[in-house]
Amino acid sequence: MDGLDDPIAEICSEERGVDNRTLKKVVELAVEIAREGREGRKIGTLFTVGDHEEVLVRSRPLILDPLTGHPDDKKRVKDPDMRETIKELAQLDGAFVVSDGGVVVSAARYLDAASRNLDIPLGLGSRHMAAASISRNTGTVAVAVSESSTVRVFDEGGVVAEVVPEVWMLRGYGPYPGR
């Protein structure tokens, strides 16, 4: 499969070990959130994909985790009910932690973010700083949804793709010019 058939494989490091099928489902969900918002307003959110155990070590809950205690088979990112649940929970502050196997293991997490030596474009906020930091310091890929309706994918501490929802729907993705 070439990059045109699978844009996710093209934009993320193979060495990272993140399941690209899971990552693609998360990016698709992020694009839906960016496009649709919730209850008539734009919302932003953040997902981490892969290396979930290390992400949990480097984060803490902002509120009681609404996903705790639910069975894994009900928390798969490909499940339509879970996708709607995520869209509702995205209105809360914090990040979603997604395992490599596609299970959303936690929601509303505050990610420990170290900004030293991160090279992200000016104008991006704390959500993007957290995404860059967690992707640099763990084996995760982070997907940030801006309130301006842009989805950015972070790998190894930097932006590797900018997804404009309308472009994604037409041709898959927009590569980040800096990578």
CB 160 within 8 A of CB 136: no
Task: Say if residue 24's pLDDT is above 80.
Answer: yes
Closest-CA residue to 13 (of 177, 153, 121): 153
Task: Say if residue 176's pLDDT is above 80.
Answer: no
H, E, C per residue of 9-48:
HHHCCHHHCCCHHHHHHHHHHHHHHHHHCECCECCCEEEE
Task: Say if residue 170's pLDDT is above 80.
Answer: no
- Percent of the chain at pLDDT > 70 equals 84
CB 56 within 8 A of CB 7: no
CB 132 within 8 A of CB 142: yes
Identify the structural domains of the chain with CATH numbers, from first to last: 7-175 (3.40.1700.10)
Q: pTM of the prediction? A: 0.88
Burial of 144 (0-12, 13-18, 19+ CB in 10 A): buried
Amino acid in position 160: V
Strand 45-49 versus strand 141-145 pairing type: antiparallel
Residue bearing tokens 């957290």: 130
Q: Convert the pLDDT of each residue in 67-94 to its tens digit.
A: 999 999 999 999 999 999 999 999 998 9
Instruction: Read off the pLDDT band of 15 (50, 70, 90).
Output: low
Give me the pLDDT at residue 117, please: 84
